[in-house]
Amino acid sequence: MATIKDIAREAQVSISTVSFAINGTGPVAPETKKRIMEVIERLNYHPSSAARGLVTRMTNNICLYVPHPKSNIFTFHGNNLINDMLQGIGESIDEKDYNLLLAWEQPGSETDAKIMSLVNKKAIDGILFFNPTHNFKPIYELIKQKFPFVFMGRFFDNEPIDIVDIDNFDAGYRNTVHLIKLGHKNIGFISPGPLNYLVAGDRFEGYQEALRDHNIRYNEHYFYLGDNREASGYSALETFLKLKEPPTAVVAGRDIQAVGMLQYAQENGILVPEDIAIVSFENSQLAELHDITSIRTDLYRIGREAAKLLLQAIGRRKERQTQNIIIPSDIVIRRSCGSVLNPE
């Protein structure tokens, strides 16, 4: 196996010149660099990533920080969205020869310690955050250190950070307005998770704003705290229909919840959309399979653009402005809301 010494000897240059040519860390004459690269190709030389890191002070690793595995975001039936996000990230970082590490959310201060340990040990060059919470304290330390990171989701403070996301507030607003235009006033909402997660909080706030804009009073009994399971949609509809005045339509926080609602409806002789109209988010394979009206969220593009933005931040730590990229989303109309039966 060829070494950097072999390359230097064959190209008749110093070892440091070979290093400069490979890593771009020093000036090398074009003709000299060409000769070095020809030797590298002829000898099939592959520089050690560890050795290269000592020179460039880069690991070529980025971290994807995601919710704890118990949230089952990777495992529930019919979810191809996380895979789409990973594919988008993978395509971007592969172009720059980067590796992807996963870090799981831990409760409380354990999360702070885990993230800052990776940063302080110089184990990674940057971080992608997916589905962050409102009170994510390590952000402020990362900003202070000027460490590169990108949020796939909105941040709650006016801090100089890079963001790639859909407008979840607008998506919640549009889903609710769609039902209002179909004649509904009693509209339930199933949260996709705890409201301290920004995606859940934003969608709920969009729902509330749509009600206010159309002079519809918010009914706290029409709110159900759901999660990433089909059972939460099942239980939500069961709870709603026990009310003295149940909702006639529901904004489900995720497609998997809408599927749970359909199951409960089928088991109890409830017609969708005649008795209860349903709209949802994600436009996953589940929505297509079960004919559910759903807001399309392009996680492949979110992942790809976030990774590209992070690599830019890594390459230009000191002189760059942060960016806020909003990926367009649209509502895909299917039978579950009644719009197909009664076009607007």
Confidence (pTM): 0.74
Residue found under tokens 């649209």: 330
3-state SS string for 290-325: CCCEEEECCHHHHHHHHHHHHHHHHHCCCCCCCCEE
What is the β-pairing status of strands 331-332 and 293-296? antiparallel
Q: Which token pair is 67?
A: 């919710």
Q: Which token pair is 93?
A: 């970082």
DSSP string, 261-272: HHHHHHHTT--T
Closest CA to 284 of 273, 292, 275, 276: 292
What is the mean pLDDT for each group of 10 consecutive residues in the chain (344 residues)? 84 85 76 89 72 60 76 48 86 88 68 77 88 70 88 74 91 97 97 87 96 97 93 97 97 96 97 97 92 92 94 76 88 92 49
Cα separations in angstroms, 55 against 20, 47, 60, 104: 9, 11, 12, 30
- Give the pLDDT score at 25: 58
Q: Are 339 and 182 in contact (CB under 8 A)?
A: yes
- Give the pLDDT score at 181: 96
Tell me how long the chain is. 344
The Cβ of residue 342 has, within 10 Å, a number of other Cβ atoms equal to: 10
State whether the Cα torsion 148-150-155-158 is positive or negative. positive
Distance CA 274, CA 163 (A): 40
Domains present along the chain, CATH in parentheses: 4-56 (1.10.260.40), 61-167+299-326 (3.40.50.2300), 168-297+331-337 (3.40.50.2300)
Radius of gyration of the chain (CA): 25
Question: How many CA atoms lie less than 13 Å away from 268 in the CB half-sphere?
Answer: 16
Provide the angle, in degrees to the nearest 10, between the axes of the packed helices 4-11 and 30-43. 130
